[in-house]
Amino acid sequence: MNDKRHSTLLLLGALLGGCATLPPSGTTPRTPPADPWLHPSPQTERPSPSYRAFLAAMERRPDPAALLAQEGHLGLARLLRREFSRLDRAEPRLVGRGLHTPAQPPQQLREAAHPRANEPLQIALEEPIPQPPKDLWQRIRAGFALPESERHHPRVQNDLDWYRRHPGYLERVARRARPYLYHIVEEVEARGIPGEIALLPIVESAFQPFAYSHGRAAGIWQFVPGTARLYGLKQNWWYDGRRDVFASTDAALRLLKTLHRRFDGDWLLALAAYNSGEGTVRRAIRKNRRRGRPTDFWSLELPRETRGYVPKLLALSRLVAEPERYDIALLPIANEPVLERVDPGSQLDLALAAELAGLSIEEIYRYNPGYNRWATDPDGPHELLIPIEKVPDFYDGLAQLPPGKRIGWRRHKIRRGETLEQIARRYHTEVDLIRRINHLKGNTIRAGDDLIVPTATRRVGAYTLSLGQRLLRTQNTVRSGRQKVVHYVRRGETLWSISRRYRVGVRELARWNQMAPGDVLRPGQRLVIWTRSDKLTARARTGPSRTQKIAYRVRPGESLFLISRKFRVSIDDLIRWNRLDPKAYLQPGQRLTVYVDVTEQSNI
């Protein structure tokens, strides 16, 4: 066994046993921290009661990290696994997961980890321990713990057949999972959760970090807003923790462990509750009990989606368990970390972050899909995930970047009639942030005053995977056989009422605008609707659709934003029709050409 790995295990044993930590030669041992589980016994040469229990458990299950996690020491478990992984990569030799093998009984380990005074440390393993798997799929497979009979339930077969017929789907999913899967497996193992759970994001989102469902669920673990807040995932204008891969993984695994405990250790019921809610599953259980029926997952009357949810995961686990049997070639994923968390300490423009790390802007968003806008959240989190090999260059570049240059700044002179909301929209920032930076107590501003406004260092279109740019790309995706109509929401309108007007489905309308059917609309919100080309649009049904050219004179205090809302046209159209510079101010008296549909105007 690797000497460094021995040292790590001995240090762990020393801490757990309550004896002094291993000192450098010729120095006095230091006393370990006074943790309830690590507290030393009065006789330092004997293991503490906690460590004796640890050793007894080791005889039944020789996996130190899993036992640490079971005792609630997730930090120690994670550190132990990562240290072993680091040592294995640095010096690839025969290593293993156990603190002892059958040839090294617990009594010998106790004597090795807790030597009597003046006796040298000795430890000997008589048999080599197998090398850890090089492929992550193999590691996941080794962690499978759900009953074999569940994977072979008849209701699993349909999903198994579908995956076998669509190998390209599995390859795409594996490519998307590659940056994140190692971390998920680490967390699953550290918490003593079955390895099958590491495959759950395939069922939830196909490992698409920007996934957004009709039920308002987001991220690879598909959290809805309420549950996300309950489990500590921050959501605001700048940041959505549901799409933060590391934060949402932690929250999802905590939720699953809670459900597992509440359903008396039944993982299938816990998974069903994760999908449809704990209350839904409990009602189904009570119903079966009243009828004298079994209360296992397969016997419950659950929503259709939930009935298909668990079999999908079990089908995936069958394929991963025996890919050769089903003629499936899983895309290899190395059993090593890909990303590392870096903390710049303050708000940072994501284009600058990408430049410091030697990445494209799109890559920085794919590794950090939790960030909605052009920068990290001003109030945190500021952390970023970047490839491990890029970390030194990132910190070197960050050290040379003055704090005041981490985002852009503009001085804006307030014009008559302008509001903070209009200014925030213009510069793609937040009203609260403008107020804070300029020490404003409310929303009242005076024409002629100057404001300092935080801005992006690049044009907004360069942030290709920001929330706004993703929305534009979705809205502008051409739909075959349909015509594009732009609709500005009026007070009192809902997605349902608009869908009825244009004769389209509510879910279609929501999907075209990256929304959920239940989302609340705001007056003035811009929606794109794709109507059937062979039918009249809603505008035509309410009267003749007439486009009219108008020569409009700009009034004092007006902006492109205000004029676009006034005539229900887009800012981009105004710029194109008048060949305007987007960054230039409009001048009172300036003449603009506007093409309007008069059937949509109430002021013409």
pLDDT tens digits along 12-59: 655 555 443 444 444 444 444 444 444 444 444 444 555 555 555 554
User: What's the pLDDT band for 516 if we cut at 50, 70, 90?
Assistant: confident
CA 360 → CA 39, 348, 371, 394, distances in Å?
Answer: 49, 15, 15, 13
The secondary structure of residue 386, as a DSSP letter, is E
* 442-500 residue pLDDT tens: 888 888 889 999 899 988 889 988 888 888 888 888 887 788 888 888 878 888 889 88
Q: What is the mean pLDDT of residues 230-257?
A: 95
Three-state secondary structure call for residue 531: strand
User: What's the pLDDT band for 83 if we cut at 50, 70, 90?
Assistant: low
Three-state secondary structure call for residue 410: strand
- In this structure, is the dihedral angle defined by the CA atoms of residues 366, 367, 369 and 372, taken in order, positive or negative? negative
Residue 31 has a pLDDT of 42
Q: Which amino acid is at 368?
A: N
Q: Does pLDDT of 545 surpass 50? A: no
Query: Cβ(18)–Cβ(40) under 8 Å?
Result: yes
Q: Does pLDDT of 332 surpass 80? A: yes
Residue 70 has a pLDDT of 57
Q: Does pLDDT of 203 surpass 70? A: yes
Any idea which residues carry the catalytic annotation? 204
HEC assignment per residue over 516-530: CCCCCCCCCCEEEEE
User: What's the pLDDT band for 591 if we cut at 50, 70, 90?
Assistant: confident
Residue 79 has a pLDDT of 63
Give me the percent of the chain exceeding a pLDDT of 90. Answer: 45
Q: What is the mean pLDDT of residues 324-353?
A: 94
The secondary structure of residue 473, as a DSSP letter, is H
Q: d(Cα 384, Cα 364) in Å, to the nearest integer?
A: 8
* 341-352 residue pLDDT tens: 999 999 999 999
Q: Does pLDDT of 188 surpass 50? A: yes
Domain 136-321 and domain 476-538 have a common topology: no
CATH (residue range 476-538): 3.10.350.10
| Phi and psi angles of residue 528, each rounded to the nearest 5 degrees, phi first | -110, 130
Domain locations along the chain: 3-113, 136-321, 339-405, 408-455, 476-538, 547-600
Q: Does pLDDT of 139 surpass 50? A: yes
Nearest to 381 by CA among 217, 508, 209, 248: 248
Which pair of structure tokens corresponds to residue 152?
């072979």
Residue 389 has a pLDDT of 95
Chain length of the chain? 604
Residue 124 has a pLDDT of 52
Q: Is the pTM of this model over 0.75?
A: no
Residue 138 has a pLDDT of 95
Three-state secondary structure call for residue 533: coil
Residue 36 has a pLDDT of 41
User: What's the pLDDT band for 127 if we cut at 50, 70, 90?
Assistant: low
Instruction: Give the range with max mean pLDDT: 3-17, 377-391, 548-562.
Output: 377-391
The secondary structure of residue 235, as a DSSP letter, is B
Three-state secondary structure call for residue 94: coil
Residue 25 has a pLDDT of 41
Instruction: Give the least confident one: 151-165, 215-229, 534-548, 576-590.
Output: 534-548
For β-strands 339-342 and 526-532, DSSP reports them as unpaired
Q: What is the mean pLDDT of residues 223-240?
A: 94
Three-state secondary structure call for residue 71: coil
Q: Would you give the distance in Å from CA 241 to the centre of its chain?
A: 6
Query: Cβ(354)–Cβ(360) under 8 Å?
Result: yes
Residue 550 has a pLDDT of 80
Residue 24 has a pLDDT of 43
Instruction: Give the least confident one: 88-102, 164-178, 588-602.
Output: 88-102
User: Among 3.90.1150.10, 3.40.50.1980, 3.10.350.10, 1.10.10.10, what is the CATH number of 547-600?
Assistant: 3.10.350.10
Nearest to 444 by CA among 421, 466, 472, 461: 421
Second CATH level (architecture) for the domain 136-321: Orthogonal Bundle (1.10)
Residue 194 CB contacts under 8 Å (≥ 6 apart), including other chains: 143, 144, 145, 146, 188, 267
Topology at the third CATH level for domain 408-455 = Membrane-bound Lytic Murein Transglycosylase D; Chain A (3.10.350)
Q: What distance separates the 2 farthest-apart alpha carbons in the chain?
A: 100
The secondary structure of residue 190, as a DSSP letter, is H
- In this structure, is the dihedral angle defined by the CA atoms of residues 75, 77, 82 and 87, taken in order, positive or negative? positive
Residue 74 has a pLDDT of 61
Residue 313 has a pLDDT of 97
Q: Which amino acid is at 133?
A: P
* 423-446 residue pLDDT tens: 988 888 888 889 888 988 888 888
Q: What average pLDDT does the chain have?
A: 80
* 259-316 residue pLDDT tens: 999 999 999 999 999 999 999 999 999 999 999 999 999 999 999 999 999 999 999 9
| Phi and psi angles of residue 239, each rounded to the nearest 5 degrees, phi first | -145, 140
Nearest to 363 by CA among 209, 222, 174: 209
Q: What is the mean pLDDT of residues 561-584?
A: 80
Q: Would you give the distance in Å from CA 600 to the centre of its chain?
A: 41
Instruction: Give the least confident one: 312-326, 373-387, 430-444.
Output: 430-444
Q: Does pLDDT of 202 surpass 70? A: yes
Residue 447 has a pLDDT of 87
Which pair of structure tokens corresponds to residue 329?
């070639």
Residue 247 has a pLDDT of 96
